């Protein structure tokens, strides 16, 4: 079993990895994802929405531009600084919070929340459950929560046929080499970022859940009425889906 730093996420999002996260999805993709969120959340334009973790604020800024009051939470100072600089240029008001995504000290304040772009599963099982409980605690009863994530059902078939993936984002080349540890149910990914003569290597570890396991975690945190989709085109989730887009609701006060 591979030895992995449980706090890998504290330092992963820096250097060339920061550029990859910031630049690998374009404006069109951002609009498509924001359209999905807007339709899934079905909120008044001035509703308070929590984006956690928000990364560089790509979706925070787009949702703020559409009139929502956004709070973006992330532990990465470089990503938050990138978001702040872009918000000033775009004149989009976002409240930026540098904190652990399990630390959300706003009981019952938000009308909705979303966790986007494979940002769930960073921690051990207890930490992942704590994150969902923290989101639930920050939401008003009945509030929607949208979570996009790979699952064991979606990621393992893909990995069986493709253990190495190359991306090119501008002049940045990126290689991801992946293995699955069946003992821990984690994908262990070695990343290589190359730009000119500069090379950086990072490691990422992501806990994968089955659909049933994830629903159990959500329900323990007080969520229910799950609606599962396989794409942002509202295709129902099922056999052959390559991703999960889960729309769920806080049923009541989970404490």
Tell me the pLDDT tens digit for each residue of 45-94: 899 999 999 999 999 999 999 999 999 999 999 999 999 988 877 777 89
Tell me the pLDDT tens digit for each residue of 119-130: 999 999 999 999
CATH class of the domain comprising 9-150+209-250? alpha beta
- Domain extents in the chain: 9-150+209-250, 154-205
Topology match between the domains 9-150+209-250 and 154-205: no
User: Would the pLDDT of 255 be above 50?
Assistant: no
Q: What is the enclosing helix (H) or strand (E) of 219? A: helix 211-220
Lowest mean pLDDT: which of 48-62, 74-88, 95-109, 218-232?
74-88
> From CA 190, how far away is CA 176, in angstroms rounded?
6
Tell me the pLDDT tens digit for each residue of 156-173: 999 988 889 999 999 999
> From CA 132, how far away is CA 42, in angstroms rounded?
21
This model's pTM is above 0.85: yes
Other Cβ atoms less than 10 A from the Cβ of 34: the count is: 20
Query: Tokens 């089955």 identify what position?
Result: 210
Q: CB neighbours of 86 closer than 8 A, spacing ≥ 6?
A: 56, 57, 61
253 pLDDT band (50/70/90 cuts)? low
CATH class of the domain comprising 154-205? mainly beta
- Backbone angle region of 68, left / alpha / beta, with phi > 0 → left and psi within -120 to 50 → alpha: beta
Tokens read off for 183: 């003992």
> From CA 38, how far away is CA 46, in angstroms rounded?
12
């Amino acid at each position: 079993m591979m030895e992995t730093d449980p706090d890998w996420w504290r330092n992963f999002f820096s250097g060339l990895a920061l550029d990859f996260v910031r630049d690998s999805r374009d404006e069109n993709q951002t609009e498509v994802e924001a359209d999905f969120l807007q339709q899934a959340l079905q909120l008044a334009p001035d509703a308070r929405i929590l984006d956690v973790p928000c990364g560089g604020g790509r979706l925070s800024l787009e949702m703020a531009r559409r009139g929502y009051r956004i709070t973006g939470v992330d532990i990465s100072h470089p990503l938050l600084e990138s978001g702040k600089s872009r918000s000033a240029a775009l004149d989009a008001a976002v409240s930026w919070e540098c904190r652990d995504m399990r630390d959300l000290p706003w009981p019952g304040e938000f009308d909705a929340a979303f966790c986007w772009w494979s940002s769930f599963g960073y921690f051990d099982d207890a930490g992942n459950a704590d994150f969902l409980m923290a989101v639930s605690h920050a939401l008003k009863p009945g509030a929607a929560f949208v979570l996009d994530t790979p699952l064991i059902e979606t990621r393992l078939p893909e990995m069986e046929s493709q253990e190495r993936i190359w991306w090119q984002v501008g002049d940045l080349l990126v290689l991801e080499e992946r293995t699955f540890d069946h003992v821990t149910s984690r994908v262990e990914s070695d990343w290589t970022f190359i730009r000119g003569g500069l090379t950086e290597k990072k490691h990422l570890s992501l806990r994968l859940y089955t659909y049933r396991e994830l629903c159990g975690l959500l329900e323990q945190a007080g969520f229910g009425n799950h609606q599962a989709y396989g794409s942002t085109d509202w295709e129902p989730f099922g056999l052959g889906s390559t991703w999960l887009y889960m729309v769920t609701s806080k049923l009541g006060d989970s404490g």
